[in-house]
Amino acid sequence: MDSSRRQLLKGSVALAAAGIAAGFSPLREGVQASVESASSSANQTNEAIGRRRLGSLEVSSLGLGVQNMSRTYQTTIPHRPEMIDIIRTAFDRGVTFYDTAEAYGPHEVERILGEGVAPFRDQVVIASKFGWNIDLETGERQPGLNSRPEHIKLAVEGMLQRLRTDRIDLLYQHRVDPEVPIEDVAGAVQDLMDEGKVLHWGLSEMGLDTLRRAHAALPVAAVQNEYSMLWRGPEEEVIPLCAELGIGFVPWSPLGVQFLTGAIDENTRFAEGDIRKIEPRFSPENLPHNMALVQLVKDWAERKDATLAQIALSWLMAQAPWIVPIPGTTQMAHMLQNIGAEEVSFSADELQELNTALDQITIRGERLPPAVLAFSGVEAPLP
Ligand SMILES: NC(=O)c1ccc[n+]([C@@H]2O[C@H](COP(=O)([O-])OP(=O)(O)OC[C@H]3O[C@@H](n4cnc5c(N)ncnc54)[C@H](OP(=O)(O)O)[C@@H]3O)[C@@H](O)[C@H]2O)c1
Protein backbone atom coordinates (compact mmCIF):
# COMPACT_ATOMS: atom_id res chain seq x y z
CA MET A 1 0.00 0.00 0.00
CA ASP A 2 1.52 3.37 -0.92
CA SER A 3 1.74 6.07 1.69
CA SER A 4 -0.81 8.44 0.14
CA ARG A 5 -3.42 5.70 0.27
CA ARG A 6 -2.51 4.81 3.82
CA GLN A 7 -2.90 8.47 4.80
CA LEU A 8 -6.21 8.68 3.00
CA LEU A 9 -7.59 5.57 4.64
CA LYS A 10 -6.29 6.63 8.01
CA GLY A 11 -8.02 9.94 7.52
CA SER A 12 -11.34 8.41 6.55
CA VAL A 13 -11.38 5.84 9.31
CA ALA A 14 -10.45 8.49 11.86
CA LEU A 15 -13.18 10.70 10.46
CA ALA A 16 -15.76 7.97 10.73
CA ALA A 17 -14.61 7.01 14.19
CA ALA A 18 -14.74 10.63 15.32
CA GLY A 19 -18.25 10.91 13.94
CA ILE A 20 -19.45 7.76 15.64
CA ALA A 21 -17.83 8.76 18.94
CA ALA A 22 -19.42 12.18 18.82
CA GLY A 23 -22.77 10.75 17.82
CA PHE A 24 -23.02 12.48 14.48
CA SER A 25 -22.35 11.65 10.92
CA PRO A 26 -19.06 13.09 9.66
CA LEU A 27 -20.74 13.40 6.30
CA ARG A 28 -23.12 15.99 7.58
CA GLU A 29 -20.59 17.91 9.55
CA GLY A 30 -18.89 19.93 6.89
CA VAL A 31 -15.99 17.81 5.84
CA GLN A 32 -14.45 19.97 3.17
CA ALA A 33 -13.61 18.31 -0.09
CA SER A 34 -9.98 17.35 -0.10
CA VAL A 35 -9.69 16.18 -3.63
CA GLU A 36 -6.65 14.08 -4.07
CA SER A 37 -5.51 16.09 -7.02
CA ALA A 38 -1.78 15.86 -6.64
CA SER A 39 -1.09 12.45 -8.03
CA SER A 40 -2.11 12.48 -11.68
CA SER A 41 -0.58 9.42 -13.26
CA ALA A 42 2.61 9.98 -15.16
CA ASN A 43 1.22 8.78 -18.48
CA GLN A 44 -1.66 11.24 -18.24
CA THR A 45 -1.18 13.75 -20.99
CA ASN A 46 -4.74 14.98 -21.18
CA GLU A 47 -6.01 18.05 -19.37
CA ALA A 48 -5.89 16.97 -15.75
CA ILE A 49 -8.83 16.91 -13.41
CA GLY A 50 -8.31 15.61 -9.90
CA ARG A 51 -7.65 12.01 -9.00
CA ARG A 52 -9.24 10.00 -6.23
CA ARG A 53 -8.88 6.51 -4.87
CA LEU A 54 -11.42 3.74 -4.65
CA GLY A 55 -9.68 1.26 -2.41
CA SER A 56 -6.39 0.68 -4.22
CA LEU A 57 -7.69 1.89 -7.57
CA GLU A 58 -6.92 5.40 -8.82
CA VAL A 59 -9.57 7.14 -10.91
CA SER A 60 -10.49 10.65 -12.02
CA SER A 61 -12.45 12.46 -9.35
CA LEU A 62 -15.54 12.29 -11.55
CA GLY A 63 -16.43 9.46 -13.86
CA LEU A 64 -18.84 9.08 -16.76
CA GLY A 65 -21.92 6.86 -16.60
CA VAL A 66 -22.71 5.53 -20.06
CA GLN A 67 -25.84 3.55 -19.26
CA ASN A 68 -28.11 5.64 -21.48
CA MET A 69 -25.85 5.63 -24.49
CA SER A 70 -27.98 3.04 -26.21
CA ARG A 71 -31.25 4.65 -25.11
CA THR A 72 -32.50 7.62 -23.17
CA TYR A 73 -35.07 7.73 -20.43
CA GLN A 74 -37.31 9.30 -23.06
CA THR A 75 -36.92 6.14 -25.20
CA THR A 76 -35.31 7.77 -28.23
CA ILE A 77 -32.04 6.30 -29.47
CA PRO A 78 -28.92 8.47 -29.18
CA HIS A 79 -26.69 8.93 -32.20
CA ARG A 80 -23.87 6.45 -31.72
CA PRO A 81 -21.01 8.54 -33.24
CA GLU A 82 -21.98 11.34 -30.89
CA MET A 83 -21.77 8.96 -27.91
CA ILE A 84 -18.27 7.92 -28.99
CA ASP A 85 -17.37 11.59 -29.27
CA ILE A 86 -18.61 12.26 -25.72
CA ILE A 87 -16.58 9.33 -24.36
CA ARG A 88 -13.44 10.57 -26.12
CA THR A 89 -13.91 14.22 -25.25
CA ALA A 90 -14.42 13.23 -21.61
CA PHE A 91 -11.01 11.56 -21.74
CA ASP A 92 -9.47 14.66 -23.35
CA ARG A 93 -10.82 16.62 -20.38
CA GLY A 94 -9.31 14.26 -17.82
CA VAL A 95 -12.02 11.67 -17.17
CA THR A 96 -10.49 8.23 -16.76
CA PHE A 97 -13.37 6.37 -15.13
CA TYR A 98 -16.18 4.88 -17.20
CA ASP A 99 -19.10 3.00 -15.76
CA THR A 100 -21.09 0.40 -17.66
CA ALA A 101 -22.73 -3.03 -17.13
CA GLU A 102 -23.66 -6.06 -19.20
CA ALA A 103 -27.27 -5.13 -18.37
CA TYR A 104 -27.04 -1.78 -20.15
CA GLY A 105 -28.44 -2.32 -23.58
CA PRO A 106 -28.09 -5.24 -22.59
CA HIS A 107 -24.58 -5.70 -23.99
CA GLU A 108 -24.81 -2.77 -26.42
CA VAL A 109 -23.49 -0.10 -24.09
CA GLU A 110 -20.36 -2.16 -23.41
CA ARG A 111 -19.80 -2.27 -27.18
CA ILE A 112 -20.18 1.51 -27.44
CA LEU A 113 -17.79 2.07 -24.54
CA GLY A 114 -15.28 -0.45 -25.94
CA GLU A 115 -15.21 1.41 -29.25
CA GLY A 116 -15.09 4.78 -27.49
CA VAL A 117 -12.09 4.08 -25.29
CA ALA A 118 -10.17 1.87 -27.74
CA PRO A 119 -7.60 4.57 -28.67
CA PHE A 120 -6.62 5.13 -25.03
CA ARG A 121 -7.82 1.98 -23.31
CA ASP A 122 -4.65 1.53 -21.25
CA GLN A 123 -5.07 4.95 -19.67
CA VAL A 124 -8.58 4.49 -18.34
CA VAL A 125 -10.46 2.48 -15.76
CA ILE A 126 -13.41 0.48 -17.08
CA ALA A 127 -16.03 -0.59 -14.58
CA SER A 128 -18.65 -3.13 -15.60
CA LYS A 129 -21.14 -5.32 -13.75
CA PHE A 130 -22.52 -8.84 -13.84
CA GLY A 131 -25.36 -10.33 -11.88
CA TRP A 132 -28.67 -9.91 -13.70
CA ASN A 133 -29.85 -13.03 -15.46
CA ILE A 134 -28.92 -12.11 -19.01
CA ASP A 135 -28.52 -14.61 -21.82
CA LEU A 136 -24.80 -14.74 -22.52
CA GLU A 137 -25.22 -15.01 -26.29
CA THR A 138 -28.31 -12.99 -27.15
CA GLY A 139 -28.25 -10.48 -24.31
CA GLU A 140 -31.91 -11.27 -23.68
CA ARG A 141 -33.05 -10.50 -20.15
CA GLN A 142 -34.41 -13.40 -18.19
CA PRO A 143 -36.10 -13.09 -14.83
CA GLY A 144 -34.05 -12.60 -11.70
CA LEU A 145 -30.35 -12.76 -10.98
CA ASN A 146 -27.46 -15.06 -11.75
CA SER A 147 -24.19 -14.94 -9.80
CA ARG A 148 -23.34 -18.61 -10.10
CA PRO A 149 -19.53 -18.79 -10.37
CA GLU A 150 -19.52 -20.52 -13.77
CA HIS A 151 -21.95 -17.92 -15.11
CA ILE A 152 -19.84 -15.01 -13.81
CA LYS A 153 -16.80 -16.39 -15.63
CA LEU A 154 -18.66 -16.69 -18.93
CA ALA A 155 -20.24 -13.27 -18.46
CA VAL A 156 -16.79 -11.73 -18.06
CA GLU A 157 -15.57 -13.42 -21.26
CA GLY A 158 -18.41 -11.67 -23.10
CA MET A 159 -17.59 -8.34 -21.48
CA LEU A 160 -13.94 -8.58 -22.53
CA GLN A 161 -14.97 -9.09 -26.15
CA ARG A 162 -17.55 -6.33 -26.19
CA LEU A 163 -15.23 -3.90 -24.40
CA ARG A 164 -12.33 -4.87 -26.72
CA THR A 165 -10.01 -5.49 -23.82
CA ASP A 166 -8.24 -8.22 -21.89
CA ARG A 167 -9.24 -7.03 -18.42
CA ILE A 168 -12.01 -5.35 -16.47
CA ASP A 169 -10.44 -2.83 -14.10
CA LEU A 170 -13.39 -2.84 -11.71
CA LEU A 171 -15.95 -5.62 -11.79
CA TYR A 172 -19.09 -5.19 -9.70
CA GLN A 173 -21.77 -7.63 -8.71
CA HIS A 174 -24.80 -5.60 -9.85
CA ARG A 175 -27.15 -7.04 -7.23
CA VAL A 176 -26.69 -9.72 -4.57
CA ASP A 177 -27.96 -13.13 -5.67
CA PRO A 178 -29.95 -14.59 -2.75
CA GLU A 179 -29.09 -18.09 -4.00
CA VAL A 180 -25.30 -17.75 -4.05
CA PRO A 181 -22.99 -17.22 -1.03
CA ILE A 182 -20.91 -14.08 -1.52
CA GLU A 183 -17.82 -16.18 -0.71
CA ASP A 184 -18.52 -18.21 -3.86
CA VAL A 185 -18.85 -15.01 -5.87
CA ALA A 186 -15.55 -13.77 -4.39
CA GLY A 187 -13.98 -17.11 -5.31
CA ALA A 188 -15.02 -16.73 -8.95
CA VAL A 189 -13.72 -13.16 -9.04
CA GLN A 190 -10.47 -14.30 -7.43
CA ASP A 191 -10.05 -16.93 -10.17
CA LEU A 192 -10.60 -14.21 -12.78
CA MET A 193 -8.05 -12.02 -11.01
CA ASP A 194 -5.56 -14.88 -11.02
CA GLU A 195 -5.98 -15.04 -14.79
CA GLY A 196 -5.49 -11.26 -15.05
CA LYS A 197 -9.00 -10.75 -16.43
CA VAL A 198 -10.25 -8.69 -13.49
CA LEU A 199 -8.20 -6.21 -11.47
CA HIS A 200 -10.55 -4.99 -8.71
CA TRP A 201 -14.05 -5.82 -7.59
CA GLY A 202 -17.05 -4.18 -6.00
CA LEU A 203 -20.68 -4.62 -5.01
CA SER A 204 -23.81 -2.60 -5.67
CA GLU A 205 -26.79 -2.11 -3.35
CA MET A 206 -25.73 -5.09 -1.20
CA GLY A 207 -26.71 -5.90 2.38
CA LEU A 208 -24.24 -4.71 5.03
CA ASP A 209 -23.25 -8.17 6.27
CA THR A 210 -22.71 -9.25 2.71
CA LEU A 211 -20.30 -6.34 2.24
CA ARG A 212 -18.35 -7.32 5.34
CA ARG A 213 -18.18 -10.96 4.27
CA ALA A 214 -17.27 -10.04 0.70
CA HIS A 215 -14.46 -7.78 1.88
CA ALA A 216 -13.15 -10.46 4.24
CA ALA A 217 -13.12 -13.00 1.40
CA LEU A 218 -11.49 -10.70 -1.17
CA PRO A 219 -10.78 -6.99 -0.50
CA VAL A 220 -13.44 -4.84 -2.13
CA ALA A 221 -12.37 -1.66 -3.92
CA ALA A 222 -15.72 0.06 -4.28
CA VAL A 223 -19.40 0.03 -3.44
CA GLN A 224 -21.81 1.50 -5.97
CA ASN A 225 -25.13 2.65 -4.50
CA GLU A 226 -27.63 5.32 -5.33
CA TYR A 227 -26.61 8.48 -3.48
CA SER A 228 -27.36 12.12 -4.08
CA MET A 229 -29.02 15.09 -2.44
CA LEU A 230 -32.25 13.38 -3.49
CA TRP A 231 -31.46 10.02 -1.86
CA ARG A 232 -29.21 10.17 1.20
CA GLY A 233 -29.91 6.70 2.55
CA PRO A 234 -26.27 5.47 2.34
CA GLU A 235 -25.18 8.10 4.89
CA GLU A 236 -26.74 6.03 7.65
CA GLU A 237 -24.84 2.78 7.38
CA VAL A 238 -23.27 2.01 4.03
CA ILE A 239 -20.91 4.97 3.79
CA PRO A 240 -19.76 4.67 7.42
CA LEU A 241 -19.03 0.99 6.75
CA CYS A 242 -17.06 1.91 3.62
CA ALA A 243 -15.08 4.40 5.74
CA GLU A 244 -14.42 1.73 8.34
CA LEU A 245 -13.25 -0.83 5.79
CA GLY A 246 -11.36 1.55 3.48
CA ILE A 247 -13.69 0.89 0.56
CA GLY A 248 -14.37 3.59 -2.06
CA PHE A 249 -17.92 4.73 -2.79
CA VAL A 250 -19.39 5.43 -6.22
CA PRO A 251 -22.76 7.19 -6.15
CA TRP A 252 -25.06 6.13 -8.97
CA SER A 253 -27.69 8.53 -10.26
CA PRO A 254 -25.72 11.36 -8.63
CA LEU A 255 -27.95 13.91 -10.37
CA GLY A 256 -31.06 12.30 -8.94
CA VAL A 257 -31.86 10.88 -12.40
CA GLN A 258 -31.96 14.49 -13.65
CA PHE A 259 -34.15 15.91 -10.87
CA LEU A 260 -31.26 17.86 -9.37
CA THR A 261 -30.38 19.54 -12.68
CA GLY A 262 -33.54 21.65 -12.72
CA ALA A 263 -34.82 19.92 -15.85
CA ILE A 264 -37.84 18.48 -14.01
CA ASP A 265 -40.64 20.48 -12.42
CA GLU A 266 -43.97 19.77 -10.77
CA ASN A 267 -45.68 19.48 -14.15
CA THR A 268 -43.24 16.98 -15.61
CA ARG A 269 -44.78 13.66 -16.67
CA PHE A 270 -42.55 10.82 -17.86
CA ALA A 271 -42.91 8.71 -20.98
CA GLU A 272 -43.95 5.07 -20.94
CA GLY A 273 -40.77 2.99 -20.50
CA ASP A 274 -38.97 5.71 -18.53
CA ILE A 275 -38.38 4.21 -15.07
CA ARG A 276 -39.01 7.58 -13.46
CA LYS A 277 -42.68 7.23 -14.46
CA ILE A 278 -42.99 4.48 -11.84
CA GLU A 279 -40.70 5.94 -9.18
CA PRO A 280 -43.01 7.15 -6.39
CA ARG A 281 -40.81 10.21 -5.66
CA PHE A 282 -41.67 11.56 -9.12
CA SER A 283 -45.41 10.85 -9.01
CA PRO A 284 -47.73 13.78 -9.80
CA GLU A 285 -48.73 13.75 -6.10
CA ASN A 286 -45.18 13.89 -4.72
CA LEU A 287 -43.39 16.07 -7.27
CA PRO A 288 -44.79 19.42 -6.08
CA HIS A 289 -43.68 18.69 -2.51
CA ASN A 290 -40.24 17.47 -3.59
CA MET A 291 -39.55 20.60 -5.65
CA ALA A 292 -38.36 22.26 -2.42
CA LEU A 293 -35.08 20.41 -2.95
CA VAL A 294 -34.67 21.77 -6.47
CA GLN A 295 -35.29 25.27 -5.16
CA LEU A 296 -32.52 24.80 -2.60
CA VAL A 297 -30.11 23.59 -5.27
CA LYS A 298 -31.10 26.53 -7.48
CA ASP A 299 -30.39 28.99 -4.68
CA TRP A 300 -26.95 27.51 -4.16
CA ALA A 301 -26.26 27.44 -7.89
CA GLU A 302 -26.92 31.16 -8.01
CA ARG A 303 -24.84 31.79 -4.92
CA LYS A 304 -21.87 29.82 -6.22
CA ASP A 305 -22.24 30.94 -9.83
CA ALA A 306 -22.55 27.32 -10.91
CA THR A 307 -25.18 25.16 -12.56
CA LEU A 308 -27.54 23.00 -10.53
CA ALA A 309 -25.87 19.81 -11.76
CA GLN A 310 -22.49 21.15 -10.62
CA ILE A 311 -23.85 21.87 -7.14
CA ALA A 312 -25.27 18.34 -6.92
CA LEU A 313 -21.97 16.77 -7.96
CA SER A 314 -19.65 18.98 -5.94
CA TRP A 315 -21.78 18.36 -2.85
CA LEU A 316 -21.22 14.62 -3.32
CA MET A 317 -17.49 15.06 -3.82
CA ALA A 318 -17.34 17.18 -0.67
CA GLN A 319 -18.62 14.31 1.48
CA ALA A 320 -15.38 12.31 1.42
CA PRO A 321 -12.29 12.15 -0.80
CA TRP A 322 -13.07 8.54 -1.70
CA ILE A 323 -16.48 9.30 -3.21
CA VAL A 324 -16.50 9.41 -7.02
CA PRO A 325 -19.80 10.25 -8.74
CA ILE A 326 -20.54 8.92 -12.22
CA PRO A 327 -23.05 11.31 -13.77
CA GLY A 328 -24.74 9.85 -16.83
CA THR A 329 -25.35 11.83 -19.97
CA THR A 330 -25.93 11.52 -23.68
CA GLN A 331 -25.22 15.17 -24.36
CA MET A 332 -21.81 16.72 -24.91
CA ALA A 333 -22.81 20.01 -23.29
CA HIS A 334 -23.98 18.20 -20.17
CA MET A 335 -20.80 16.13 -19.91
CA LEU A 336 -18.66 19.27 -20.15
CA GLN A 337 -20.80 21.05 -17.60
CA ASN A 338 -20.71 18.10 -15.21
CA ILE A 339 -16.94 17.77 -15.16
CA GLY A 340 -16.83 21.47 -14.32
CA ALA A 341 -18.28 20.50 -10.93
CA GLU A 342 -14.78 19.96 -9.67
CA GLU A 343 -14.19 23.67 -9.78
CA VAL A 344 -17.02 24.30 -7.34
CA SER A 345 -16.00 23.91 -3.73
CA PHE A 346 -17.66 24.56 -0.40
CA SER A 347 -16.05 25.93 2.72
CA ALA A 348 -16.76 23.93 5.87
CA ASP A 349 -19.25 26.62 6.95
CA GLU A 350 -21.02 26.61 3.60
CA LEU A 351 -21.28 22.86 3.62
CA GLN A 352 -22.71 22.89 7.09
CA GLU A 353 -25.24 25.51 6.08
CA LEU A 354 -26.24 23.55 2.99
CA ASN A 355 -26.51 20.30 4.94
CA THR A 356 -28.66 21.93 7.59
CA ALA A 357 -31.03 23.14 4.90
CA LEU A 358 -31.00 19.71 3.27
CA ASP A 359 -31.84 18.05 6.58
CA GLN A 360 -34.99 20.12 6.72
CA ILE A 361 -36.28 18.80 3.41
CA THR A 362 -38.08 15.49 3.41
CA ILE A 363 -38.48 13.72 0.11
CA ARG A 364 -41.86 12.10 -0.32
CA GLY A 365 -42.13 8.77 -2.11
CA GLU A 366 -39.80 5.80 -2.42
CA ARG A 367 -36.78 6.13 -4.70
CA LEU A 368 -37.67 3.09 -6.79
CA PRO A 369 -40.76 0.99 -7.53
CA PRO A 370 -41.18 -1.81 -4.95
CA ALA A 371 -40.32 -4.58 -7.44
CA VAL A 372 -36.95 -2.96 -8.15
CA LEU A 373 -36.27 -1.88 -4.58
CA ALA A 374 -36.68 -5.51 -3.50
CA PHE A 375 -33.26 -6.25 -5.04
CA SER A 376 -31.49 -3.73 -2.78
CA GLY A 377 -30.06 -4.42 0.67
CA VAL A 378 -30.22 -8.18 0.10
CA GLU A 379 -27.96 -10.48 2.14
CA ALA A 380 -26.29 -13.41 0.42
CA PRO A 381 -26.82 -16.86 1.99
CA LEU A 382 -24.05 -18.35 4.10
CA PRO A 383 -21.83 -20.94 2.39
N1 LIG B 1 -25.45 0.17 -9.92
C2 LIG B 1 -26.66 0.46 -10.32
O3 LIG B 1 -27.60 -0.27 -9.98
C4 LIG B 1 -26.92 1.65 -11.17
C5 LIG B 1 -28.24 2.13 -11.34
C6 LIG B 1 -28.44 3.27 -12.12
C7 LIG B 1 -27.35 3.93 -12.70
N8 LIG B 1 -26.08 3.43 -12.54
C9 LIG B 1 -24.90 4.10 -13.12
O10 LIG B 1 -24.93 5.47 -12.76
C11 LIG B 1 -24.79 6.28 -13.93
C12 LIG B 1 -25.52 7.59 -13.74
O13 LIG B 1 -26.86 7.38 -13.31
P14 LIG B 1 -28.15 7.84 -14.13
O15 LIG B 1 -27.81 8.11 -15.53
O16 LIG B 1 -29.23 6.89 -13.81
O17 LIG B 1 -28.59 9.20 -13.38
P18 LIG B 1 -27.95 10.64 -13.21
O19 LIG B 1 -26.53 10.65 -13.60
O20 LIG B 1 -28.33 11.08 -11.86
O21 LIG B 1 -28.83 11.51 -14.22
C22 LIG B 1 -28.85 11.26 -15.59
C23 LIG B 1 -29.92 12.16 -16.19
O24 LIG B 1 -29.56 13.53 -16.00
C25 LIG B 1 -29.45 14.17 -17.28
N26 LIG B 1 -28.31 15.09 -17.19
C27 LIG B 1 -27.00 14.76 -17.03
N28 LIG B 1 -26.25 15.87 -16.90
C29 LIG B 1 -27.10 16.91 -17.00
C30 LIG B 1 -26.94 18.31 -16.96
N31 LIG B 1 -25.73 18.86 -16.75
N32 LIG B 1 -28.03 19.11 -17.10
C33 LIG B 1 -29.26 18.57 -17.29
N34 LIG B 1 -29.49 17.24 -17.35
C35 LIG B 1 -28.42 16.42 -17.20
C36 LIG B 1 -29.30 13.07 -18.29
O37 LIG B 1 -29.88 13.44 -19.50
P38 LIG B 1 -28.99 13.74 -20.83
O39 LIG B 1 -28.60 12.39 -21.34
O40 LIG B 1 -29.93 14.48 -21.69
O41 LIG B 1 -27.82 14.55 -20.37
C42 LIG B 1 -30.14 11.95 -17.66
O43 LIG B 1 -31.51 12.13 -17.93
C44 LIG B 1 -25.37 5.41 -15.05
O45 LIG B 1 -24.89 5.79 -16.32
C46 LIG B 1 -24.87 4.04 -14.64
O47 LIG B 1 -23.53 3.88 -15.09
C48 LIG B 1 -25.87 2.31 -11.77
What domains does the chain contain, in order, with CATH numbers? 49-373 (3.20.20.100)
Tell which residue, 228, 236, 235, 217, has the closest CA to residue 173: 217
Contacts of 251 (CB under 8 A, 6+ apart): 224, 225, 226, 227, 228, 234, 316, 323, 324, 325, 326
Q: Which pLDDT score, from 0 to 100, does residue 77 have?
A: 81
Gap from CA of 329 to ligand 1 centroid (Å): 6
Q: Is 109 in the pocket of ligand 1 (CB under 6 A)?
A: no
Residues in the chain: 383
For residues 295, 298, 302, 308, the Cα torsion angle rounded to the nearest 10 degrees is 170
Question: For 204-214, what is each residue's pLDDT tens digit?
Answer: 999 999 999 99
Q: Is 316 in the pocket of ligand 1 (CB under 6 A)?
A: no
Q: Which pLDDT score, from 0 to 100, does residue 36 have?
A: 32
Question: For 55-75, what is each residue's pLDDT tens digit?
Answer: 999 999 999 999 888 765 655
Q: Is 275 in the pocket of ligand 1 (CB under 6 A)?
A: no
For residues 291, 233, 179, 108, the Cα torsion angle rounded to the nearest 10 degrees is 50
* Dihedral sign, Cα of residue 157, residue 163, residue 166, residue 172: negative
Q: Which pLDDT score, from 0 to 100, does residue 214 have?
A: 98
Among 253, 264, 293, which residue has the most ligand 1 atoms within 8 Å of its CB, making it the best to mutate?
Answer: 253
Question: For 76-116, what is each residue's pLDDT tens digit?
Answer: 688 999 999 999 999 999 999 999 999 999 999 999 999 99
Gap from CA of 305 to ligand 1 centroid (Å): 22
Catalytic residue among 73, 104, 172, 227: 104
Q: Which pLDDT score, from 0 to 100, does residue 49 have?
A: 82
Indicate which atom in ligand 1 lies nearest the CA of residue 327: 19
DSSP code at position 276: G
Q: Whose CA is nearest to atom 43 of ligand 1?
A: 258
Gap from CA of 46 to ligand 1 centroid (Å): 24
Catalytic residue at 104? yes
Measured CA to CA, the distance from residue 93 to residue 340 in angstroms comes to 10
Cα→Cα distances 181→136, 145, 209, 325, 380, Å: 22, 13, 12, 29, 5
φ/ψ (deg, to 5) at 63: -110, -170
Q: Whose CA is nearest to atom 33 of ligand 1?
A: 261
Gap from CA of 335 to ligand 1 centroid (Å): 10
Contacts of 279 (CB under 8 A, 6+ apart): 257, 365, 366, 367, 368, 369
Q: Is 73 in the pocket of ligand 1 (CB under 6 A)?
A: yes
Gap from CA of 257 to ligand 1 centroid (Å): 5
Report residues of the chain scoring pLDDT below 70.
1-48, 71-76
